[in-house]
Amino acid sequence: MKITPTRIIFTMLALCAIFLASCQSAPVRADDAAPIDPKQQMLDEKFAKVYLNCVGVRVSPTRGGPLQAQVDIANNRLSHRNFAYKFDWYDASGNLIPSQLAVWKPLTLPSKETKTLISIAPSPDAMDFDITIRKSK
C-alpha cells in the first residue's frame, strides 16, 4: 500500500475525530444535580455583577446566641476584582436591624482565589441577612 499525503491527512483527521468523540462528557440529568440553596443562588446573582461567584453559604448560631453568616466567594477570572460589600441583618418580620457594623468593607480578590466573608448578627433577634455589593476602583 502506497502512503500518499492525502492518505496521511485522512488518517490524521479520522484519529482526531475519534479522540474528540472520546473526550465528550456524559450528559447530566437535571434530577441528578444537587439542589441549589435559594440564598446562595440569590447571592450568586448579586456577585455576578462584579464578576464573582458565590460558592457557599452557611448560617449558624454563635456561642453567645446571635447568628453568624459565612459566604464563600470565588474569583474564577484571570484578573483581580475590586469591590466593596456590607451585610444587613433582618428580624423575623423582615425589618432591618440597625447596626454600626453595617459599613462598606473594601476587598480585592486575586485571580483564581476564594474568600469567606463573615458577619455576626447585631442582635439575637436577627433571623436573616443580605449582602449589598458595589464595584470599587
Please state, in angstroms and rounded to a whole number, the distance separating the CA atoms of residues 129 and 68: 10
pTM above 0.75, yes or no: no
Whether the CB-CB separation of 89 and 132 falls below 8 Å is answered with: no
Please state, in angstroms and rounded to a whole number, the distance separating the CA atoms of residues 4 and 27: 39
Which residue matches cell numbers 446562595?
A: 40
pLDDT of amino acid 26: 41
Per-residue pLDDT of the chain (137 residues; tens, 9 = 90+): 667 766 666 565 555 455 545 544 444 434 445 567 888 898 999 888 888 999 999 999 998 889 999 999 999 999 999 999 999 999 999 999 999 888 999 999 999 999 999 999 999 999 999 999 998 87
Q: Which three cell numbers stand for residue 12?
A: 490524521
pLDDT of amino acid 35: 60
How far the first Cα of the chain sits from its last, in Å, is 67
pLDDT of amino acid 1: 60
What H or E segment, with its residue span, contains residue 47?
Answer: helix 38-48
pLDDT of amino acid 25: 42
pLDDT of amino acid 58: 94
Q: Which domains does the chain show, CATH number per domain? A: 37-135 (2.60.40.3230)
